[in-house]
Amino acid sequence: MFKSAAKTHIGHVRSCNEDSYIENPELGLWLVADGVGGNAHGDFASQVVSQTVERRIRQGSPLKEAIEDAHRTVIKLGKDKPDINGMASTVVAIHFKGSRYQICWVGDSRAYLISEHGGIQQLTTDHNQAQFLVDTGEITQEEARLHPTQRVLMHAVGINDEQWKVDQIEGDLGVNEKILLCSDGLSGELDDANIKKSFEQGNPLAAVADELVGKALEKGGTDNITLALIALDRHGVRASNSVDSDATNRAEAIPQDAAHLAIKYLVLGIVAALVVASIAVWVV
């Protein structure tokens, strides 16, 4: 029923890719998570968020509840292991039931709708200080894009605050429409017009994903870049347009497999083993 493509790149500046994503057509689930830079182990936080949400969706939880559970899990892990306390991540995710979708998010990772006639609409609202200034009328939406507070988050998964929330919207995806999920490594480099242009030739989703990442790198690639593209397969066949090069880029950018992740956190005192045990207890 779906066709999709997903891609991540470390960018030109960062030494570590703190983004992660889920591309699971069988569950009707796509997700992009962006570990909060400057906080402890943002890459690990985004992995915990991604894996927790996917597991909860597989168990039948609604998307919003799955993200709320990921929030509690990240906080619990930080309390259990002080050297990773404070880790956090953004998240934007979409879950389909047929053509009907729900999008939930926390932070500044975004979802866009690309319409049949090439229009583009941002579906999410950033949880950052720049958007707060827009909401209060202090700056315009255009000024917000390059404002110094654009990357100062108001909410993130794993950070408790009194107004923490998961925002959500619902809709129906048309046959000729597409959804783009992305971290701010893409939306921070490319404005809406530049993003929209990549869809105008009607290329396969994998080619569009490559083009978008390439353009973000050309603009500077100052942050990790991650995106997922989703459309309905008009023939009703479940399919994925992801290509082998995507897997190569994932391997270059971030250790997605559990073994590589475990090796990395062995240096921190076998954190990976502790995390698996902690999550298992939390689930029970």
Strand partners for 31: 22, 93
Identify the pLDDT of residue 144: 83
Distance CA 243, CA 206 (A): 7
| Environment class of 37 (CB within 10 Å of its CB; exposed 0-12, middle 13-18, buried 19+) | middle
Identify the pLDDT of residue 79: 92
> What are the two backbone dihedrals, phi and then psi, of residue 7, each rounded to the nearest 5 degrees?
-155, 145
Identify the pLDDT of residue 129: 85
Tell me the torsion sign for CA atoms 57, 63, 69, 75: positive
**Of all residues in the chain, what percent are helix, strand and coil, respectively (each to 5)?**
35, 25, 40
pLDDT tens for the chain, 284 residues long, are 899 999 999 999 999 999 999 999 999 999 999 999 766 799 999 999 999 999 999 999 999 999 999 999 999 999 999 889 999 999 999 999 999 999 999 999 999 999 977 799 999 999 988 888 978 888 888 888 778 887 789 999 999 888 899 999 999 999 999 999 999 999 999 999 999 999 999 999 999 999 999 999 999 999 999 999 999 987 643 443 343 334 333 333 333 443 344 334 443 434 444 443 444 444 44
> What are the two backbone dihedrals, phi and then psi, of residue 53, each rounded to the nearest 5 degrees?
-65, -45
| Environment class of 148 (CB within 10 Å of its CB; exposed 0-12, middle 13-18, buried 19+) | exposed
Distance of CA 174 to the CA centre of its chain: 22
Distance CA 179, CA 228 (A): 8
Cα distances from 220 to residues 81, 112, 134, 137, 258, in angstroms, run 36, 22, 26, 30, 31
Angle at 204 between CA 97 and CA 16, to 5 degrees: 80
Domains of the chain in sequence order = 2-254 (3.60.40.10)
Identify the pLDDT of residue 235: 66
Cα distances from 111 to residues 60, 92, 186, 229, 263, in angstroms, run 23, 7, 11, 10, 33
118 C-beta neighbours (distance < 10 Å), count: 11
Residues 121-146 as b/e (b if ≥16 CB within 10 A, e otherwise) read eebbebbbbbbbbbeeeebeeeebee
Token pair, residue 199, equals 């869809």
Q: Which helix (H) or strand (E) holds 260?
A: helix 258-266
